[in-house]
Amino acid sequence: MPEEFSCQISPPFLSEGSDRDLGLDSTLQELPMYNFSVEISHTGMEVASFLDKYPLLPGVILVEQGQFIGMISRRRLLEFLIRPFGQELFVQQPLAVLYSYVRTPMLLVTDTTSILTTMQLSLKRSPELLAEPIVVETESGSYRLLDVQELNIISWQIRGIDNLIRYERSQAQMIQNDKMANLGRLVDGVAHEILDPVGFIWGNIIYVSNYSQDLLKLIAAYEQLSSASPVINQIKEEIEFDFLEQDLSRSLASIRTGAERLKKLVTSLQNFCHIDELFPKPVDLHACIDSIILLINSRLQGEIEIVKYYGQLPPVYCFMGQLNQVLMSILSEVVDTLLNEGVRQQLHLEETKTVQKPRIEITTEVVSQEASNPDAPDSRWVLIRIADNGSGMSEELQQQILESFSLETKNGKNTGLAVSYRIITVRHGGKLNFHSQIGIGTKFEILLPLV
C-alpha cells in the first residue's frame, strides 16, 4: 500500500463476536463484523489498495463527513474496474462518482436482529444480490459489514444444533411418554386391586346392616315375651347394650360412607390414568371435573371453596386421559396460586385488615360462535370456565405464558399450561384462552367443538 494513503484511511478491523454458544435467539451482536468506513472524497485507487491488502474484506462503507451514505462491495467494485476503460475512468475519480454507477439495493438491519431472521431476509433478495454483504447498524449508530458467507455458515450451524436438540428432546419425550404409560398401567392395576376388597366391603355392608337390625329385633322380641333374667341384665350392662344398639347403626353407616368415598377415589384415579385409544370417545365432562376435584381435595385443606355452575352438556367426543391431564394442570395451577396468596395475606394481615376467602368457580355451558363464512352455520362449542378470585397475573407473566403456547418454543420448557394448550388446540381442535387482571383474579376458558 502506498505510504501516502496510510494516514488518510483508517485500516479496517474485525469486531469480535460473543464467546457464548449460539442458539435460535442469537443476534448479530454475537457475530464478528468488519468496520471499514471511507469518505466518498477518496479515490477508487485508495480503496482498491485496501481491498488488495485485506482479501477477506467484503466491501467498503461510504460516509460523507462522518454520515452514512451507502456501501460498495468488493465484487461490484472489481466488476467496474475490469470493464473496458474502467481503470482509466474510475481509478482516479472520487468514490462519489463510482458509487453513482455501482449503487445497488442493500440489505440494512440492526445488530439486534436475530441471525436466523437476517438469513431469511438475505435469501429473499434477488439472485444477483445474494452474494452482497449485509450492512449492520449498531446501537451506537455506527455501521459494519457482515460477510454473507459467514452468515450462511453460522446459520446452518445453528439449524444443525437446533435439529440435534429437537431430536434429543423428542427422544426424551418418547421415554417420558413410555414411563407415563407404564405408570398409568401400574396405577390402573393397583386401583383395580384396591377396588376388589372395596367391592367386598361395599357389597356386604348392606347385608351386615340388615342382619344387625334383624338381631336387634330378635333381642327386643325376647325381652317382650320373657322376663329378663339377672344373668342377661348383667351381660347387657357389661356390654353397654343401650349404647351398642344406638352406635351400631352409626358405625355401619360410617363404614358405608368410607367405602363409598374410597370407591369414588379409586375410580377417579383410574379415570385419570386412562390410556386413550386411537379415536376419541364420548365423555361426560362433569364426571371428569368431579374426578379431578376429588383427587386434589386433599390439597384444598378446607381453605379453598369450589363452586360449580354446571349447565346441560351433551357427551363430548374427546380423549379422556389427555383432557383429565389438562383439567388437573389448570386446577393445580389455580390451587397453588390461591394457597400462596392465602399465605401472603396471613403474613400481611395487619396491613390488609381483611382476608378474602379463596374461591374457584367452575362453569360449563354450550355456546355458539358465528362462522367466518356467512354461508356456513354457526359453530357450537362446549365451554369450561375455571375462574379464581386471586391476586391476578402481571403483564410479564401473562406474556411468558402466551409465548410458551407457541409450537416453536425457544426455551424448550414444556410447562403444564403449554402442554395443555397443545392438547386442546392440536389434539382436540379446540381453544384455550386465559385472562387475568391484578386484584380481580384469573380466568381460564376451554372451548371444545361439538361434532
Amino acid at 218: L
Please give the grid coordinates belonging to residue 108.
440494512
Give the Cα separation of 270 and 262 in Å (integer): 12
Residue 141 CB neighbours (<10 A): 7
Give all strands (DSSP E) within 132-171, no chain letters. Answer: 134-137, 143-146
Rounded to the nearest 10 degrees, how much is the dihedral formed by the CA atoms of 396, 400, 402, 404? 180
What is the spatial distance between Cα 115 and Cα 99, in angstroms, rounded to a whole number?
A: 29
Q: Are strands 359-369 and 431-437 parallel, antiparallel or unpaired?
A: unpaired
Q: For the ranges 45-54, 89-98, 180-189, 243-252, which has the lowest average pLDDT?
A: 180-189
Q: How confident is the model at residue 364 (pLDDT cuts 50, 70, 90)?
A: very high
- The answer to whether 90 touches 123, Cβ cutoff 8 Å, is no
β-sheet bridge partners, residue 432: 446
The confidence score (pLDDT) of residue 227 equals 63
CA 136/CA 175 separation, integer angstroms:
44
Burial status of residue 326 (CB atoms within 10 A of its CB: 0-12, 13-18, 19 or more): buried
pLDDT tens-place string over residues 395-414: 888 888 887 776 555 444 55
pLDDT average, residue stretch 327-344: 84
pLDDT number for residue 385? 94
Q: What is the pLDDT of residue 98?
A: 76
Cell triple for 221: 322380641
Residues linked to residue 43 through DSSP beta bridges, in sequence order: 94
pLDDT at 450 over 80: yes
User: For residue 255, with 0-12 CB atoms within 10 Å meaning exposed, 13-18 middle and 19 or more buried, which class applies?
Assistant: middle
Mean pLDDT of 189-202: 73
Please tell me the pTM assigned to this model. 0.53
